[in-house]
Structures are given as structure tokens and as C-alpha cells.
Amino acid sequence: MSTEIIPELSRKKRGPFMDVMMRLAKSPLAMFGLAIIFVLVFCAVFAEVISPYSPIKQDLMHMFETPSAQHWLGTDEFGRDILSRLIYGARVSLQVGFIAVGIALVTGGMLGAISGYYTGWLDNCIMRVMDVLLSIPQTLLVIAIVAALGPSLMNLMIAVGISAVPTYARIVRGSVLSIRSMEFIEAARAAGSSDLRIILKHIIPNSMAPIIVQSTLGVASAILNAAGLSFIGLGIQPPNPEWGAMLSGGRQYIRDFPHMTLYPGLAIMLTILALNFLGDGLRDALDPKLKR
Amino acid sequence: MIMNETMLDIKDLTIHYESEGGTVHAVEGLNLTLGRGESLGFVGETGAGKTTTALGIMRLISSVNGKIKSGEIIFNGENLLTKSEAEMRKIRGGKIAMIFQDPMTSLNPVMTVDKQIAEMIALHKNVSKSEALKLAGDMLELVGIRRERMHDYPHQFSGGMKQRVVIAIALACDPELLIADEPTTALDVTIQAQVLELMKELKQKFSASMILITHDLGIVADICDKVAIMYAGRVVEYADKRSLYTNPIHPYTRGLFRSVPDIDEDVDELPVIPGLMPDPVNLPSGCAFHPRCSMASEECAKVRPEMQEAEPGHYAACPFCVKKFINGEAM
Amino acid sequence: MDGAYIRVENLKKYFPTKRGMLHAVDDVSFEIMKGETLGLVGESGCGKSTLGRCLIRLLDSTSGKVLLKNADDDGCIDITKATPSEMKALRKRVQIVFQDPYSCLNPRLSVWELIAEPLIVNKIYSNKNEMRRKIRSLMDTVGLAERLENSYPHELDGGRRQRIGIARSLALNPEFIVLDEPVSALDVCIQAQILNLLNELQKEFSYTYVFISHNLSVVRHVSDRIAVMYLGQIVELTEYRELFRSPLHPYTQALLSAIPLAKLDVNRERIILEGDVPSPIEPPNACRFAGRCRYAKEICRNTPPALREVMTGHYAACHFAKEN
């Protein structure tokens, strides 16, 4: 019966994860992003080992020092080593970024998937609640939640996470709505698949692209959000190092000692850039249509 | 109507697209002539290069990745490929008009239909705005839409009516050549019958030449004078309708005719052409059809066959079959 | 053919819309014999796909029955009222092949995963090797080369994709398959290949088919009997040759005359219908074709005609249909 004439590519079977990694490896920008994230994670994990000084020890003899052999990135207004504070700060910032987005992604994603898949009154209820959340300015919402729960790292992450839930819920709902009307969902139902399997196996993987992009951006904005909160005293409590707090702390000395804001700023920028590159790469790698 | 006067003469047209996988040979050395007042059915499967040829005539090949590599398109004695973009804009919609496949997407949804027709008229004819709108109403009546409906938006019309509007736009400037790209594929059978009937009628009235792109040999039988069968970027058979339908010569044409189920005859198994359309990135050597052809010889894989005349006005790109036909052998 | 294998009784499917009830399928009754192919033709929006989906309960019907004969005894089960656990068992017996081979396959799954899906979700095989053998044999049955198993749908042409769709629906060894426009998205040459494949499969495994299409020549080629639908109702139902030889309903006559034939010198009168198909939302209580029918009389605008047996085995829903 089969009449095959055109030779077609045949591949060896790899695991789906390896498949994605192989494709990701072909994008230099994504690899660059991944490398930076690895460095940051390494710093965060081994902060005690690699940082040259304690991040909180004040040294009033060496205040406002510009970069030198002793202090590679200089010191701040209390003579604390900026490099060490940045290394320890990576711990806090990455934690806040990823966990807050994780909270937002899981809650928002589930809510969005449920409301997009079932539609009807359930959808209406969920989306109206999301609309209420969206109508409150995000920063205000975060401040209110942290004020209610009390300032701490965990509460900060929860607050930032909750404030981002509606965004994810909307994105996921939108893509679920467009995917659920596709015939392959009906085909899966005809094959006897359960609702849960349809959502997990067919809908979520096909709605990944916008979510991944949003998540990488979300990590960035969560880091910034946390920084803002630390600045007004609702986030990380001093003297604990945090990039955002360092940035705002150095702001008043920016004319005379720009290095105090420059390096935390660079750290935030580099992280966000790396996350964006990685996000773009992942989106392409996860899409079999773009595979070459 | 003067027949036999050549209006469109395409010589050795080659159009390539660049894609990630390599160069797509969409049209490869295509030759075609069309007389004034003639209607030509341009038949082929998906990916044969029919639409690309049409877009090539209109010079609408995307400049991002597409390129007309070589050839000439002589329209009324002038080579369209050497025209400037400004000159082409005058010709498009004016002397050469095109009807696209999907009436749902080829109309602007936020503009009333009379304005869309009037816009076309205003672009190509020297008339006032009110006159253009009046002409638009006339055009709509001509295609069977009541004048009262001229201020309606496209979504207020059904699919068949929308295609009528599209036809009205195409004919608004009295084109000399009308290119219709699968104009009825998106329509239902009974609506298709209405539109085809309308097109036949208008063909008489406007005495325009027409290229009808389709994959349906039935539609060609209904309204065309000449037929060109296209395969893998080339015309493989060209003839007037009668000789092509009575004596299809090229093996591909014959396969095409046989694989359509007949409504008067019972067959248990449809004769099929084995295999698939060749990948346009990687066309077979020699005759592009040879890997699927039951009569292919070694020669076919080496030499690209040229069109040969089998009977007056009937050309086929298969020297083997042409010879057989002339000798009166069975095929 | 021993009695009806599937009996559809007064099946209705309405969809609520903002402008009122949309009567997609409106009081349809017919029978399907074991091992036959019933063709379902009609224009877009006539409810043929909805009917197909109601038959295998991809859609819940508004009212009516779809009685499927049990495999082991003489009783039957009403698919429209099957419980979830009964439905799980029925999914193995009734299957569907979709129209669009481009959108009916999840683009993120490989050919292998796509064909394995029905086997996995129905927990058919506990042994990996057995499942592998089954998938290989399915791919062989539908004519897919083994080396394609790790390809993704977008790398394949429409014909091969449709073969994947067919393999998926055959995976559970069904008895009854709804083919919803399986070849309309394909080129004629590929269409012929798929039609032959479906035909061979039916011969080998004695499947019962419902073949939905708008293409009359294709339907004629595959069907034993053909039902013509117009605005949610069956207007004519008979053996395929009979339908083409002596259509009784004026709509069928118009439909047949509108087929473009790839032949010259065909002597036939072409009936061009005026206007478009009216809206299926809150249709009037009358013959639905009356507005476009050239024979319409007063009675047609007041009384809806019932589908009646005009000649033996030839049903038509027209007040004026008579034996000839």
C-alpha cells in the first residue's frame, strides 16, 4: 500500500527533554543566557565560599571606596564590600524572582486553564475576580498584602506572586481558549482521554510559548518589584543585601559615587537580559514546528 | 472578439523562493500564451506553482524571500518584468485584475462594499467621487446584488455574495485580463454553480481574457476554452479544452483525470498516481514526473522534456507519449 | 445485512445563540446496517458534521436516541444516554476521522505518540513491547513507513497526516467509524489514495462507516446508501445509484446538477438555486427548502413534509415526491 518516493528525514529517538536541550544548544543567545543564569545560581548557592567579605560587616574606615584591588567593586556608605553584597544579593533576588513567578504561574496558570477549558459561569467567576485584582495598581496591591502579612522575605514573595496572578491567568486563558477549539482536542476526546489529560498533555504544552516569554519577563519585574518594596522598608530588612535595596540605597550618592548604583544596576540588567534570551530560546526550542 | 491575437506571452519564467531548507523552485521555466478574449484553465495540485505564476504576472512576488529569476512576461507587447513599480501599480487592478480564493479575507471588513469598489475605480479612472460610487452601484447590480445593499459591510453578506462583491471589484475597471485564483473553492456546490454561471455571463459581456486557477477539472470543463496542466513548476500539457479532455497525452494529466471518482460509473478501486508531489526544494532531475510515472525510462531521468506538438494546438511535455499518440498507439 | 446496526430516532441537536435556538440537527431518524457505508451529503451549515458528532457522542444531543446494537447479544445501547463508564467502553467501538489533517493532530506530539495516545488512555497494553508491535502494525496498515515514527505532523504532507488520523481511529479496533470529510482538504491524487485505503480497510475489517462530505462524486464512490441533508434535516435517503439516477427531492436535483463534471458534452439541465441557505436559527415550521424551491406551493409554506418511503428503500421529504 505505501508508496514512498521522497526520502524523508528519519531521526533517532531521544527523550523529549534531551530533544529540547539539543535544540536549545543551537541558539547562541539562549546559551549565553543560560550561562549567566548558571553563574548567578552558582553565586547564590556558594555565596559563603566565594564572597571575599561578609556582606553585612561594616567597615567605617573604608566608606565610599571606588573599585580597588581589595574591594573589586568598591564599598558602600557603611564600608561594606559591594561585590560580596552582590553575591549574597543574588541569593535573595533569584529567590524572589523565581518563587514569586512560580507562585503566580501555578495559581494563575491553573485558574486560567480551568476558566478557559470549562468556560461558562466558572470562567465568569474566576475572570471577574481577576479583573478586580487587575484594577488595583500592582505596587499598591503588593504593599497592601505585605502590610497585612508583615514584612519578611516569604511574605514579599507571596505578595509579588499574587499581584502577578491575573496576568498569567489571562494569558493562559487566552491561549487555552484558542487551542481548545482546535480539532485535535476533539480528537483526543474521541480517543477517550480524560479532561485532566487533555489539559495537561494537549492544552498546556501548546500554550507554553506566551507563558514562557511572560515568565522570563515576570522574573525580571518581580525582582524589580521586590527591590521597590525593600526601598520603602516593606521587603528585605536591612542590613540584609538585596540588589534593589542596594540600588535605591546608592541613589542618593549617585553624583559622587556612581559605582554604588552602577554595579547593582548592571547585575539586575544582566540577569533580566539573560532571562529574556533564555526565554526566547526556550520558546523556539519547545516548538517542534521551528525545528530544523 | 478577435481570437488568436496574443495578449499574454510568458517565456521561460522561473520564480524561486529562499527558505530555510533551501531554494524553493516554485516556477521552473514556464511557457504559456493566452490569446485575447480566451479563457485559460490553469490546473494543478497544491504546490504546483499556479498561484506563484499568477502573482508573478501581477509582479506581487514577496521581495523578502521570493525572486523572479528569469524569463519574460509579455503583456500587450510589453514586458511586465521591466516595468517600474509605479507603472505596475497602474496595471494592477486596471488592466490586470485578480480574484483571490477566500472571499472572507479579501474584503476589508471595516469598509462598506460600495466604497471598496469606488476606491478601485477612483484609483484607475479619472472620475469624481460621486460618480465612482454610482459606478460601484452599477457593478454590484451587474453581479446580482441589489443596489440597496451597496452600503452594507462585508460581514452582512454570505460567502457567495462576498465572492460576487470581489468579482465586482475585479471587473470595476474593465480589465483586459482577469486572473481568478480558485474563486469558488471556498464556496458550496450550489453557490459555486451560481458564481460560475455569473462568471460565464460576465465573460461574454466584458470580453476580457481570463486565467482561471483551479484544481477542479470539472470547473475548467464548464467555463474555459484552453487548459494548461501544471506540475512541479512547469506546464506539462497545454491544449484547447476539447482535445485535452478527449485525448489527454501526458501521463500526469491522464492520472489526474482517472483519480477523480466518476458519477456515472462504479469502480472498486480508483487508479492512483503513486507517490507524492516532489519537494520543490529538491526537484527530480530530467522530467519532474519520472519517479511517479509508470512508463518512465532512463532517458526521462536525464533529459528535461520540452513541449512538443501532438496535434494542432495540443502540446505535451512528454516526447514518448507524443510519439505514441502520433503513431496512434494505445496509452 | 441483518436488521439495523445503528438506529437513530428523532435525534435533535440545538445550540443556544443570542438570536435564538440554532437547529443544527432537527428531528432526524434513520438506520445504518452492519458493514455498510452511509454517505451524508449537504452544504456547509446543514448539520452533517454535528450529526456525525452526535452519533458517537462527541456532542451531547438535545433529544432523541442513537441505538447501537450490542456486540454480544441482541440488545442495544442508547449512546446518547450512556453513563461515563459505558461511554468509556463505547469509545473503543465507535471512532471518528476528522476533516482537517492539519488541525486534528497535536503539533507537539510525534507520529508515534499520536498513534499511541488512544492505546495509552484506554490502558490497552500493559506491556511496552506489545504496544510497540501494535503501533508498528497500525502504521503498516495505513501505509506509513516505520521511519516516520519520530516525525512531527508539520513535517508530513496532508495525505500522510490523514493516514495518522486514520491509524489513531483504528487503534482501538472499532466497529463503527464516522469519517468527517476525510478527504476534502486533500488534492485529488492523494484523495484517491486515501479513498482506496478506506475501502480496503472496510473490506478487511468490515467496518461500518458514516462518510460525511460535500463532494457528491466522492460520496457516490464510497457509499452504499446516501442521505442528503438540508438545514438540519434529511431530505432524501436511498441507495447511491438510485439517488443519482432518479433524485426525488428538488434540492437533491439541484445539488446533483451543480456538480462540475470533468467531461465535455454532458447533456444536463443545470438547476441554479436562487439565494442562499436560510438561517438555521428558529427555522419556520414549514418545508425548509420552500424558499428556494421552484415547485413550492402553498402547502410547502405551511406544513413541513415528513421523510417518507416513496419507493421501496427510497425516502424523500417532499410533499410532491412520487413514484416514477
Contact: C88, A288; criterion CB under 8 Å: no
* More confidently predicted of A192 and C134: C134
Where do the domains of chain C lie, and which CATH numbers do they carry?
4-93+207-316 (3.40.50.300)
CB atoms within 10 A of CB B5: 11
- Give how far A3 is from chain B: nearest CA, Å: 5
**Domain count of chain B?**
1
For B157-213, the pLDDT digits (tens) are: 888 888 889 989 888 888 899 999 988 887 888 888 888 888 888 888 888 899 999
Inter-residue contact C262 to B253 (CB < 8 Å): no
Inter-residue contact C232 to C25 (CB < 8 Å): yes
The set of cell numbers assigned to B141 is 447590480
Interface of C with B (CB under 8 A): 43-44, 157-159, 187-193, 195-196, 199, 214, 216-218, 220-221, 241, 244, 254-255, 257-264, 270, 272-273, 276-277
CATH classification of the domain holding B19: 3.40.50.300
Contact: B275, A292; criterion CB under 8 Å: no
Partners of residue B278 in chain A, C-beta under 8 Å: 6
Beta bridge partners of C6: C32, C68
- Give how far A184 is from chain C: nearest CA, Å: 4
Which CATH number does A78-287 carry? Answer: 1.10.3720.10
- Report yes or no on B307 lying in a domain: yes
Average pLDDT over residues A190-219: 83
Helix-strand-coil percent breakdown of chain A, rounded to 5? 75, 0, 25
For C275-313, the pLDDT digits (tens) are: 778 888 888 888 999 988 888 889 999 899 999 999 999
**How far is residue C93 from each of residues C43, C88, C141, C178, measured CA to CA in Å?**
29, 10, 19, 11
**How far is residue A160 from each of residues A26, A101, A173, A215, C101, measured CA to CA in Å?**
34, 8, 21, 13, 44
Over 90: is that where the pLDDT of C12 sits? yes
Q: Which ranges of chain C does DSSP label H, i.e. alpha helix?
A: 48-55, 84-90, 111-121, 128-142, 158-170, 188-205, 216-222, 240-245, 250-257, 298-302
Contact: C262, B188; criterion CB under 8 Å: no
Chains that touch C (3 or more CB pairs under 8 A): A, B
Please tell me the distance from the alpha carbon of residue A180 to that of residue A117, in angstroms, as a whole number: 7
Contact: B275, A3; criterion CB under 8 Å: yes
The set of cell numbers assigned to C145 is 513507513
For A240-259, the pLDDT digits (tens) are: 888 877 887 788 888 888 88
Q: Does residue C16 have a cis peptide bond before it, meaning omega lies within 30 degrees of 0?
A: no
User: What pLDDT, on the 0 to 100 scale, is given for residue A10?
Assistant: 38
Eight-class DSSP state of A203:
I
The set of cell numbers assigned to C127 is 506491556
- Report yes or no on B174 lying in a domain: no
* CA-wise closest residue to C293 among C305, C282, C281: C305
Q: What are phi and psi of B25, to 5 degrees?
A: -85, 80
Chain A interface, best mutation among B270, B272, B276, B289, by max A CB count within 10 A: B276
Contact: B263, C188; criterion CB under 8 Å: no
Please tell me the distance from the alpha carbon of residue B164 to that of residue A3, in angstroms, as a whole number: 42
* CA-wise closest residue to B314 among B218, B260, B210, B242: B242
Q: Where does residue B73 rank: exposed (0-12), middle (13-18), buried (19+ CB within 10 A)? A: buried
Per-residue pLDDT band for A194 (boundaries 50, 70, 90) equals: confident
Sheet containing strand C176-180, strands side by side:
C94-97, C176-180, C208-213, C37-41, C225-230, C233-239, C314-316, C308-311
CB atoms within 10 A of CB B166: 26
For B277-287, the pLDDT digits (tens) are: 888 888 888 89
C35: left (phi over 0), alpha (psi -120 to 50) or beta: left
Residues 6+ apart with CB under 8 A from B79: B72, B73
- The string of DSSP codes covering B90-110 is HHBTTTEEEE-S-TTTSS-TT
Contact: C221, B272; criterion CB under 8 Å: no
Helix-strand-coil percent breakdown of chain C, rounded to 5? 35, 25, 40
Contact: A188, C169; criterion CB under 8 Å: no
Q: Where does residue B284 rank: exposed (0-12), middle (13-18), buried (19+ CB within 10 A)? A: middle
Please tell me the distance from the alpha carbon of residue C139 to that of residue C166, in angstroms, as a whole number: 10
For C99-143, the pLDDT digits (tens) are: 888 788 988 888 999 999 999 998 888 888 999 999 999 998 888
The set of cell numbers assigned to C152 is 512531527
Beta bridge partners of C179: C97, C211
User: What pLDDT, on the 0 to 100 scale, is given for residue B316?
Assistant: 94
Please tell me the distance from the alpha carbon of residue B122 to that of residue B102, in angstroms, as a whole number: 24
- Report yes or no on B168 lying in a domain: no
**Mean pLDDT score across all residues of chain C:** 89
Q: How many CB pairs under 8 A join B and C?
A: 108
Q: Which domain holds residue B256?
A: 6-89+215-326
Over 70: is that where the pLDDT of C54 sits? yes
- Report yes or no on B15 lying in a domain: yes
* CA-wise closest residue to A191 among C110, C98, C182, C39: C98
User: What pLDDT, on the 0 to 100 scale, is given for residue B238?
Assistant: 94
Over 70: is that where the pLDDT of A3 sits? no
The set of cell numbers assigned to C280 is 438555521
Please tell me the distance from the alpha carbon of residue B218 to that of residue B203, in angstroms, as a whole number: 18
Inter-residue contact A261 to A250 (CB < 8 Å): yes
Average pLDDT over residues A200-229: 81
Please tell me the distance from the alpha carbon of residue A91 to that of residue A74, in angstroms, as a whole number: 20
* CA-wise closest residue to B39 among B299, B165, B214, B158: B214
Measured over the CA atoms of residue C237, residue C240, residue C242 and residue C248, the dihedral's sign is: positive
Partners of residue A4 in chain B, C-beta under 8 Å: 275
Please tell me the distance from the alpha carbon of residue C36 to that of residue C206, in angstroms, as a whole number: 8
* More confidently predicted of A49 and A290: A49
The domain limits of chain A are: 78-287
Helix and strand totals (H; E) in chain B = 11, 12
Residues 6+ apart with CB under 8 A from C260: B192, B196, B216, B218, B219, B221, B222
Average pLDDT over residues A12-38: 77
Q: Residues of chain B with pLDDT > 70: what percent?
A: 99
User: What pLDDT, on the 0 to 100 scale, is given for residue B148?
Assistant: 86
Sheet containing strand B78-79, strands side by side:
B22-35, B6-19, B66-75, B78-79
Average pLDDT over residues C206-233: 93
Inter-residue contact B186 to B102 (CB < 8 Å): yes
Please tell me the distance from the alpha carbon of residue C206 to that of residue C176, in angstroms, as a whole number: 9
* CA-wise closest residue to A249 among A231, A224, A267: A231
Inter-residue contact B185 to B163 (CB < 8 Å): no
Please tell me the distance from the alpha carbon of residue B302 to that of residue A179, in angstroms, as a whole number: 48
Average pLDDT over residues B300-310: 90
Per-residue pLDDT band for B2 (boundaries 50, 70, 90) equals: very low
Residue A292, chain C, CB below 8 Å: the answer is no
Please tell me the distance from the alpha carbon of residue B237 to that of residue B11, in angstroms, as a whole number: 15
For B100-117, the pLDDT digits (tens) are: 887 778 888 888 999 999
Inter-residue contact B50 to B235 (CB < 8 Å): no
- Report yes or no on B227 lying in a domain: yes
Contact: A193, C121; criterion CB under 8 Å: yes
- Report yes or no on B261 lying in a domain: yes
- Report yes or no on B248 lying in a domain: yes
Residues 6+ apart with CB under 8 A from B171: B97, B139, B142, B143, B178, B202, B206, B208
Inter-residue contact C282 to C20 (CB < 8 Å): yes
Contact: C106, A206; criterion CB under 8 Å: yes
- The string of DSSP codes covering C157-201 is -HHHHHHHHHHHHHTT--SEEEEESTTTTS-HHHHHHHHHHHHHH
